[in-house]
Each structure stands twice: as C-alpha cells, then as structure tokens.
Amino acid sequence: MSQPGLPKYNSLDEALNAIRGLKDDPLANAGTNIVISRGNPQAKILLVGEAPGPQENIKGKPFVGPAGQLLDKILQSAEFDPEADVYITNSVFRMPPGDAGKNFRKPNDKEIEFYRPFVFEIIRLMDPLVILLTGNVACQAVLQKTGITSLRGKWIEMDRRWLMPIFHPSYLLRNQSREPGSPKSLMWEDIREARRKYDELSGA
C-alpha cells in the first residue's frame, strides 16, 4: 500500500520529520503551517481527513475546530477514545488559502496528488487495521475515486487493511437532521459498523 515516487522511510517519526521539513510542496508559498496528525500512533484505527482549516493551522493539529469537536463526539459515541484509540491525519498537510472572501478552500487535484505518497507512507508505517476516510478528498487521496454518497458505509479490503469511507463531519454540521436516512443517522450506522469490525479484527 505504498506508492512509487517517494523514498521509503524507516519509521513513522522519520516520515513525519520529512513532512515537517517540506519546502517545495504546492502550498509552501501559501504561508500556512504544516499540520500532520494527532492521537495515538500505536492505535489500530487511522482516520484520514481533508486538510487543516483555520483553527488547525493555528494549533498545529488536525480536527481541533468545530468539525473536530463533532468528530470526537462521533468517535466517543462508539466508545472510541479519540486520543488513545485513533490516529488522525489529513490528505493535505497545509491549509489551502481561500479566495472569494473565504480564508480557506478545498484542496485541488494537484495538491492531493503531491501529498498522497506521504499519506501512504503514514499508512504503511503506522500499520492500522482499520482506516476511516472522511469525505471525498480522503477517498480521492487513498482510493483515487470519489462519490462519498455511494461509497460510504462499505468496506474495502486493501493489503490486509479494512477501509471505510464515511461522511466528513463538516457535511454533518451543514445537515443537522436526524431523520432516518439523513447524513447524521447514516454516520451513526457507519461508526457502529466500524466499532464492530474493529472488535472483530482486534479479537475484543
């Protein structure tokens, strides 16, 4: 599950240091900070997000703004401790600067492609059993396809790992309904299924 085009690192720390030292990445000139991960690098679940937003850019950790607070609640609802049971990273490691009056935007294809080999090195070296891909950007980075509405909730086996696309928590912040079939209720089903798979794979 690693990709050509990047030297292989010997440890996760070595890969994280290489990412921290990036100077020629497509967002280097944006002047935003490198934000890579939080949580437990020994965890058996990796969650991949999109890119840092303004709060993450300031604090240097992924998912610490409003979407991150919701993400923590979702994980906790399935009795995952976000700091102990999960390692959290992104598909793109700097906040893409905004245009049209917004202070950030979605990452573009070129940015996703540049950081992809580093995301795959994190996966290889962290060696999770389960990977949750939040939203279309993470699906594009790891699966090289999008279509979250049909991908979500379905397991994909890749090199002995189990990957599941789930909605991005920001999408849930924009869709508050809890009716059956709503994004929130589907997320609830998906995180419970992730818990079931995790228990099965880890022999809990």
Based on the shown chain and the rule CB under 6 A, indicate whether residue 56 belongs to the binding site for ligand URA. Answer: yes
Token pair for 69: 């607070």
C-alpha angle with apex 86: 83 to 92, nearest 5 degrees? 100
C-alpha–C-alpha distance, residues 163 and 47, integer Å = 10
- The partner residues of 163 in beta bridges, in order of sequence, read 131, 156
The single residue among 43, 50, 164, 187 that binds ligand URA, judged by CB under 6 A, is 50
Binding positions for ligand URA, 118-177, rule CB under 6 A? none
Window of 7-15, 44-52, 120-128, 178-186 that interacts with ligand URA by CB under 6 A? 44-52
The single residue among 12, 67, 131, 166 that binds ligand URA, judged by CB under 6 A, is 67
Based on the shown chain and the rule CB under 6 A, indicate whether residue 39 belongs to the binding site for ligand URA. Answer: no
Based on the shown chain and the rule CB under 6 A, indicate whether residue 9 belongs to the binding site for ligand URA. Answer: no
Based on the shown chain and the rule CB under 6 A, indicate whether residue 41 belongs to the binding site for ligand URA. Answer: no
**CB closer to ligand URA, 65 vs 96:** 65
Window of 47-55, 118-126, 158-166, 186-194 that interacts with ligand URA by CB under 6 A? 47-55
Nearest Cα neighbor of 119 from 15, 14, 201, 5 is 15
The single residue among 26, 39, 41, 53 that binds ligand URA, judged by CB under 6 A, is 53
Binding positions for ligand URA, 85-114, rule CB under 6 A? 90
Nearest Cα neighbor of 158 from 139, 186, 180 is 139
**Helix ranges restricted to H, 152-182:** 169-174
Based on the shown chain and the rule CB under 6 A, indicate whether residue 49 belongs to the binding site for ligand URA. Answer: yes
Give me the residue whose beta carbon is nearest to ligand URA.
49
C-alpha–C-alpha distance, residues 36 and 195, integer Å = 24
Window of 52-60, 102-110, 119-127, 139-147 that interacts with ligand URA by CB under 6 A? 52-60
C-alpha angle with apex 131: 11 to 26, nearest 5 degrees? 65
**CB closer to ligand URA, 87 vs 203:** 87
Nearest Cα neighbor of 191 from 32, 58, 60, 82 is 82
The SS3 call for residue 6 is coil
